Amino acid sequence: MSDGGGRAALVTGATGGIGEAIVRRLAADGFHVFAGGRRRQRLERLAADVGAVALPFDVTSETEAAGARTVVEGEAGGLALLVNAAGVFDLAPVTDTGDAVLNRNLDANLKGAFNVTRAFLPAMLAAGSGLVIQVGSVAGWRAFPGNGAYSASKYGLRGFHEVLLEEIRGTGVRACLLEPGAVDTPIWDPLSPDSSPHLPGRGEMLRPDDVAHAVGFVAGLPAAVTVPLLRIERA
Ligand SMILES: NC(=O)c1ccc[n+]([C@@H]2O[C@H](COP(=O)([O-])OP(=O)(O)OC[C@H]3O[C@@H](n4cnc5c(N)ncnc54)[C@H](OP(=O)(O)O)[C@@H]3O)[C@@H](O)[C@H]2O)c1
């Protein structure tokens, strides 16, 4: 395992399958981890278990993201690593995708990642270091029926990330878009994937630890090395 050397990392979506695995991995690697999510009790249990700091906030709120930044700056000075892993997934044909579902996906997956990045990026730029990892998806570059709202958010995230790469070039700040295929997490629970012939079975999916491993790998690279895009699939 790499050594985070006590450097501070914020992981959003830490109450979910992928985010929790990333928190555990980064804590084991020696990072001073701030775990973000909205379910406070779950967050506090995880934080106590791994020696992280629970940081409950809604990624879609500019005010709450600023509050999270104040806590991180007060306790750790600034972030070495931000992992935007909060997200939602709705499956419906375009004709059945109303405004509420479209906005839910765009708000959490695209605007949330944009919002939290914007909150922490200025301090990273001022420090001339830092790494921002966006958790995208295979649905951010490949089309699947029923993914209208979700893909719109994840293709949008890819666009945002690519612009960010251009804006941070030469600053010392790095960014990585991680695009996993299906991962066995609670995000699939409402869809019962094992009983739907159109969805991958849970046994065919990546494990949350696989994604956490990739985050640990990217975060453990020397500061002079950048991985702008990392796609992860089941072999
Ligand atoms: N599972 C997959 O197959 C898969 C594949 C590729 C990419 N991804 C992406 O990986 C990320 C994590 O997914 P997962 O599978 O781990 O899902 P999950 O288990 O359902 O967890 C989702 C997480 O997002 C958080 N979240 C959602 N909306 C939020 C908001 N407005 N503010 C703060 N936190 C919010 C949830 O926290 P609270 O409920 O506590 O707020 C929870 O921690 C998502 O971006 C997803 O699109 C997943």
Please check whether residue 47 lies inside any domain of the structure.
yes
CATH number at residue 199: 3.40.50.720
- For residue 137 and ligand 1, the question of a CB distance below 6 A is answered with yes
Q: Ligand 1 centre from 185 Cα, in Å?
A: 9
Phi, psi of 86 (to 5 degrees): -70, 145
Residue type, 123: A
Beta-carbon contacts of residue 13 (< 8 Å; ≥ 6 apart): 19, 36, 37, 84, 85, 86, 87, 135
The answer as to whether 201 is a domain residue is yes
Q: Is 150 a catalytic residue?
A: yes
Q: What distance lies between CA 50 and its chain's CA centroid? A: 19
Q: How many alpha carbons lie under 13 Å from residue 62 in its C-beta half-sphere?
A: 1
pLDDT at 1 (0 to 100): 45
Q: How many domains does the chain have?
A: 1
Task: Identify the pLDDT of residue 216.
Answer: 98
Give domain status of residue 2, yes or no. Answer: no
> How far, in Å, is the centroid of ligand 1 from the Cα of 170?
31
Per the domain annotation, does 135 fall within a domain? yes
Domain with 149 in it:
8-232
Q: Tell me, yes or no, whether 156 lies in a domain.
A: yes
Look at residue 3 in the predicted model and tell me its pLDDT: 57
Q: What is the pLDDT along the chain (235 residues), one digit of tens a residue?
A: 455 666 999 999 999 999 999 999 999 999 999 999 999 999 999 999 999 999 999 999 999 999 999 999 999 999 999 999 999 999 999 999 999 999 999 999 999 999 999 999 999 999 999 999 999 999 999 999 999 999 999 999 999 999 999 999 999 999 999 999 999 999 999 999 999 999 999 999 999 999 999 999 999 999 999 999 999 999 9
Residue 191 C-alpha to ligand 1 middle, in angstroms?
15
Q: Tell me what pLDDT residue 8 has.
A: 98
Contacts for 137-141: CB closer than 8 Å, 24+ residues apart: 137/179, 137/180, 138/179, 138/180, 138/181, 138/182, 138/231, 138/233, 140/177, 140/179, 141/179, 141/231
Check residue 4 and give its pLDDT.
67
In a domain, 3, yes or no: no
Predicted TM-score of the model (pTM): 0.98
Cα gap 169→154, rounded to integer Å? 22
Please give the helix or strand (H or E) that residue 129 lies within, else none.
none
